[in-house]
Amino acid sequence: MSNNGTREYDFVVVSNRLPVDRVVSADGTESWSTSPGGLVTALEPVMRAADGAWVGWAGQPDLRLSPFESDGIHIVPVDLSADDIENYYEGFSNDTLWPLYHDVIAPPSYHRIWWDSYVDVNRRFAEAAAAVTSRGGIVWVQDYQLQLVPRMLREIRPDLTIGFFNHIPFPPYGIFSQLPWRAQVVEGLLGADVIGFQRQADASNFSRAVRRLTPHTTRNPIIEVNAERSPARRVVAKAFPISIDAASFESLAREPRIQERAREIRAGLGNPKTVMLGVDRLDYTKGIGHRLKAFGELLADGELSVEDVTLVQVASPSRERVEAYINLRDEIELTVGRINGDFATMSHQPISYHHQGYPRDEMAALYLAADVLLVTALRDGMNLVAKEYVASRFDEDGVLVLSEFTGASDELKRALLVNPHDIDGLKATILRAIAMPREERRSRMRALRKRVIEHDVARWSRAFIDTLRQAADDRFQRTAPMELPEDLEWTIDRRKAD
């Protein structure tokens, strides 16, 4: 407990979005349900063991909530106004950083007013974390929306050990250097003791940006940060490929009701010989259009017939107020409509398209129902859908077609790897997946499963937190015991009052 009565925690996770959703029932009563995301599952055991707290936004504007507890997790809400959401979240996060960090697949927009809001909101997150973390505690900041938080937090609380994990790619310098605020972003991240990336290539891109933009020296995986008036600080920047709770996907898929549902799904599609599946947020990084183009051409060429093959495409709604996403939806739905119009028979439809989100049970049934999973992302930090498919296939069947431009392709080498830009190559790979003999499917799926089961999300969070603890130990050995500035409590209180 701090002097001003705020509860403090030794382990604090900070992410843009809290792991809980606000549910308002018909009679107006309000409750919170834990969102079943991978991050919550990964961090829940750590949070419980450390009695930790989660700092983030509750997903709706102007809620002005006090800290509360949900399902045993201590929640510390950060309030965002409608303007913050427009400028910091939909603007700078999703219309500047997202396209820039995904190889400029869509053109990023640069607006100073969005940047100002990003700085302002990052500061509020840093202050919220500073106010609830105990002396010498650990703070783990998540993702691209909060890249300035590590440095801002270190300035307020030099006693803390700070980690940062980037869930999306970190772009090559030739692309990153477009960002008008590139140096501020790099210095923001360098406030952390450990910076985690999905792939080694992302960590290397970051180190190169550090060399180009700052006077700091890099010797993989260490960056020596030299700041005026303080001793050099060591930052570790390396890959920690994220994963899923593989065991829970497998046990869900093993439930008889899920297997029954998988059979029902196939029957509902008219029991085609082959069911192919795509599951993506409706996002231009996911290469949904490339997948549809390849499938449409295979039907047009007569290499696939609508009686034999159905493509189920789940495109879950995403960022629906951002213009690029509104246009993407129109494009994809036009293409789906054309392919279905051109090739449907009275009894069969080539594409079963769903602009909806589904419960986890239904996802598991879909994975079991699919002979082929198509992941054709043009750039993707990791792609958890690929890993979920593999984890669900306890029957050692199913073929994973996986884009080389996903982080997952670094690990899942026995998938059928494709370059989604090469439409002929993609078509050939789809045909190969459909025709693959059972023995080859089994041997490939076995190898994929071994990787996903051994490298699950618990291992990911353990590896990151161990590195963070190690960094903290090194820091305390290299420097004299750190004294908290005397006016620290005052600083935090004053900032909160502002």
Which residues are at the interface with ligand GDG (CB under 6 A)? 38, 167-168, 242, 279, 281, 314, 316, 357-360, 363, 380-385, 388
Smallest gap from Cβ 154 to ligand GDG, in A, equals 24
CB of 133 or CB of 376, closer to ligand GDG:
376
CA dist., res. 100 & res. 448, Å (int) = 31
CB of 23 or CB of 435, closer to ligand GDG:
23
CB of 148 or CB of 168, closer to ligand GDG:
168
Smallest gap from Cβ 395 to ligand GDG, in A, equals 19
CB of 56 or CB of 137, closer to ligand GDG:
56
Smallest gap from Cβ 246 to ligand GDG, in A, equals 12
Smallest gap from Cβ 168 to ligand GDG, in A, equals 5
Asked whether 56 and 21 are in contact (CB, 8 A), the reply is: no
CB of 128 or CB of 242, closer to ligand GDG:
242
Smallest gap from Cβ 315 to ligand GDG, in A, equals 8
Smallest gap from Cβ 376 to ligand GDG, in A, equals 12
CA dist., res. 38 & res. 428, Å (int) = 33
CB of 87 or CB of 383, closer to ligand GDG:
383
The radius of gyration computed from the CA coordinates of the chain, to the nearest angstrom, equals: 24
Smallest gap from Cβ 359 to ligand GDG, in A, equals 6
CA dist., res. 353 & res. 356, Å (int) = 9
CA dist., res. 19 & res. 78, Å (int) = 13
Smallest gap from Cβ 329 to ligand GDG, in A, equals 15
CB of 298 or CB of 368, closer to ligand GDG:
368
Q: Which residues contact 464 (CB under 8 A, 6 or more apart)?
A: 140, 163, 165, 194, 196, 240
CB of 110 or CB of 358, closer to ligand GDG:
358
